[in-house]
Amino acid sequence: MAIEEVLRTKTGIQGLDKALNGGFPQGNIVLVSGGAGTGKSTFCLQFLVNGATLFGEKGLYVSTEQNRAELAKQAAGFDWKLADLEQRGLIKVVYFDITGPDGFSDQLNKLITEFKPKRLIIDSLTTLTDSLIVSGMGEDKAFSLVQIAETVNPIPRTEQIITKNILYSLFREIKKSGITTLLTTELPEDQRTLSADGVSEFIADGVLLLNAVPVGDTLNRSILVRKMRYTKIDAGMKSYDIIESGISIE
């Protein structure tokens, strides 16, 4: 299929949709990578709010960090009517407690089947994979492959191998649904990889990098489309601001 024919999920942020040649290819799994406070969660919220208000598309926000009240507070700072959009069934915000007993993939599958979103956020992938490593994947069926592999072949597993297995399982689950998905990942300032785990950027269909560099008395924010399958990327950093309407790219 020629890339002009690929269906696109627009972010509704003009400068970014232009850089993406129209938007994210529908069904792509995209990492939103950046340091603390670069605007990852804000961007993800905006992607769902724009999806609902501009394109009538349903969006599911699965948060492992900020709870529902905290995300509502964040949205209110931007004059986004999150409660209203939730009431109208256009957006669903779900907090997933990583310390709880529930399996993530089962919960996610249930939410996807019932709510049928066109857009999905997991904020953050880092917290989720870290917790799955610590809990030894729990009873989660989708991750049982890792356990089988271990029984068959008892080689000491490095954290990276476990992470890779978790990521493959998670990405495969999401891919089945065909939903355009954003996964946030936390990058420390000196990180040389494109994600916290150093693996997911290879599995993901795309990577957006968010930067915030203090210069004098301002914070220079910039965004880069680092990778996007099925897309002719308009390369180069775009500077952005966080204003009342959310993330704004010149």
Ligand X SMILES: Nc1ncnc2c1ncn2[C@@H]1O[C@H](COP(=O)(O)OP(=O)(O)OP(=O)(O)O)[C@@H](O)[C@H]1O
- Tell me which residues touch ligand X (CB under 6 A): 34, 36-42, 77-78, 186, 242
Q: From its phi and psi, is residue 112 left (phi > 0), alpha (psi between -120 and 50) or beta? A: alpha
97 in helix, strand or coil?
A: coil
- The candidate with the shortest Cα–Cα distance to 169, out of 29, 68, 51, 44, is 29
Q: Does 195 contact Mg ion by CB under 5 A?
A: no
Residue placing its CB nearer to Mg ion in the complex, 41 or 211: 41
78 binds, among Mg ion, ligand X, none (CB under 5 to 8 A by kind): ligand X
**Nearest CA-CA partner of 203 in 170, 237, 158, 242:** 170
Of 58, 53, 105, 106, give the one whose Cα is nearest residue 79.
53
Shortest Å, Cβ 153 to Mg ion: 37
Measured between alpha carbons, how far is 232 from 226 in angstroms, rounded to an integer? 11
CB of 4 to ligand X, least distance (A): 33
Number of residues that bind Mg ion (CB under 5 A): 2
**Residue with Cβ nearer ligand X (182 or 225):** 182
Stretch that binds Mg ion, among 16-24, 39-47, 67-75, 174-182 (CB under 5 A): 39-47
Look at residue 36 and give the partner it binds from Mg ion, ligand X, none, a contact being a CB closer than 5 to 8 Å depending on partner kind.
ligand X
Our finding on whether 41 is near Mg ion (CB under 5 A) is: yes
Q: Which two tokens stand for residue 247?
A: 């993330």
Nearer to Mg ion, 121 or 228 (CB): 121
Between residues 21 and 124, which has the closer beta carbon with respect to Mg ion? 124
- The span from the CA of 182 to the CA of 121, in Å, is 5
**Closest residue to ligand X in the complex (CB):** 77
Name the minimum Å distance from CB 78 to ligand X: 5
Residue 23 binds what, of Mg ion, ligand X, none (CB under 5 to 8 Å, by partner type)?
none
Instruction: Name which of 140 and 201 has its Cβ closer to ligand X.
Output: 201
Q: Which does 63 bind (CB under 5 to 8 A by kind): ligand X, Mg ion, none?
A: none
121 binds, options ligand X, Mg ion, none, Cβ within 5 to 8 A by partner type:
none
Cα(160)–Cα(116) distance, integer angstroms: 32
State how beta strands 206-215 and 218-228 pair: antiparallel
H or E segment and range at residue 127: helix 125-134
What Rg do the C-alpha atoms of the chain give, in angstroms? 18
Distance CA 94, CA 118 (A): 16
Residue 136 binds which entry of Mg ion, ligand X, none, with Cβ cut-offs from 5 to 8 Å by kind? none
Q: In this complex, which beta carbon is closest to ligand X, that of residue 28 or of residue 46?
A: 46
What region does 237 belong to: left with phi over 0, alpha with psi -120 to 50, or beta? beta
Residues that bind Mg ion (CB under 5 A): 40-41
